[in-house]
Amino acid sequence: MAQYLVSVLDDRTGSGTDDEMAAIDVYNDQLRADGHWVFAGGLGGPETATVIDARHGEAVFTDGPYVETKEHTAGFWIIEAPDLDVALRLASEGSQACNRRVEVRPFL
């Protein structure tokens, strides 16, 4: 079994509707029932991010995201799947549930 990060791409924050939330709940339950669930969560928007650089001793904090992009990660799943075909199928269902584009990347 391998683990995959499924990131949800969005260009707004807090844009999820009640219907989308309900669909995500159903999807999460299915992931758990089928043994694919590892973890999932929604993230605050880029404006809530703080960048920390402690490489040179004392930590320096910077307000805002490291890179300004049009799209950001609004949330993510970590799923377990035997191969990419299964991960792609699960991610497609996830994309449908949250009504957003998602990106799949394997953990090494």
Partner 1 sequence: MTADVDAAITRAHREQWSRVVATLARRFGDLDVAEEMAAEAFATAVERWPLDGVPPNPGGWLTTTGYRKGIDRLRREGRRDAKHQEALMLSGPAEPLGAVDDDRLRLLFTCCHPALATETRVALTLRMVGGLTVPEIARAFLVQESAMARRITRAKSKIAAARIPYRVPSREDLPGRVAGVLAVLYLVFNEGYLASDPEQDPIRSDLTAEAIRLTRLVRELLPDDGEVTGLLALMVLTEARRTARLSAGGELVTLGEQDRGAWDRDLIAEGHALVRERLASGEAPGRFQILAAINAVHTAARDARDTDWSQVVALYDQLVRLDASPIVRLNRAVAVAEMDGPDVALALVDGLPLEGYHAFHATRADLLRRLGRSAQARAAYDRAIELAGNTAERAYLTRRRDQLAP
Using rule CB under 8 A, residue 22 touches partner 1: no
Structure tokens of 77?
């799943």
Q: Residues 34-37: contacts with CB within 8 Å, 24+ apart? A: 35/80, 36/79, 36/80, 36/81, 36/86, 36/90, 37/79, 37/80
Q: Does 105 bind partner 1 (CB under 8 A)?
A: yes
Question: Is 35 an interacting residue with respect to partner 1 (CB under 8 A)?
Answer: no
Contact between 88 and partner 1 per CB under 8 A: yes
Binding mask 44-83 for partner 1 (x = CB under 8 A): --------------------------------------xx
Any residues with CB less than 8 A from the CB of 38 and at least 6 apart, and which?
A: 3, 77, 78, 79, 80
Segment interacting with partner 1, rule: CB under 8 A, options 31-39, 42-50, 63-71, 84-92: 84-92
- Which positions lie near partner 1, rule CB under 8 A? 2, 82-85, 87-88, 104-106, 108
